[in-house]
Amino acid sequence: MSDPTFHATGLEKYELLAAEAGNDNPFDTYLIRPESGMGDSSKMPILIPSLESSRIVGCSCESDYKEVVWFNLPEGEPQQCDCGKITKGSKEEPHVVDALDEFRMVGCVCNEHDTNIKWMWLFENKPKRCRCGYWFKLKRHAGPDRYEMPN
């Protein structure tokens, strides 16, 4: 069977070529992946930005774990997830959401035991507060130029 990159065009080809080059996130859409050693001790916690005094945080615990463990992270002292990772909240910045356009729909799981997601539109240069109190800010970045995409 021939190489799928040979038959792909446009954004699909851009994504496949980026993957071949070692970039598994060419559109900057993944969640934060802490560096090795981060979160292993209270001296090197994973810093979680928030404008409020607490925030709901999701931890996937292991790389092959299919679920997300949600917990409330108050500002101040580091807290430990059930898997052992340590996080710490801060008020310096809102949660930054990457986008290829000046708007994007985002979802917030407001409470630890919620079984639904609160969706809202987020626009560039207009930080928005979810009804639970968490702030989001859109960060626009340039996407690939469609006229310079590989054929």
Q: Is 59 annotated as a binding residue?
A: yes
Whole-Å CA distances, 124 to 8, 51, 76, 120, 128: 32, 18, 30, 13, 10
Q: Is 130 annotated as a binding residue?
A: no
Phi, psi of 6 (to 5 degrees): -65, -35
C-alpha span between 44 and 47 (Å, rounded): 9
Angle at CA of residue 62, ends 60 and 63, nearest 5°: 95
Q: Is 83 annotated as a binding residue?
A: yes
Phi, psi of 88 (to 5 degrees): -145, 130
Q: Is 110 annotated as a binding residue?
A: no
Question: Binding site: residue ranges?
Answer: 59, 61, 81, 83
Q: Where is the binding site for Zn(2+), in residues? A: 59, 61, 81, 83
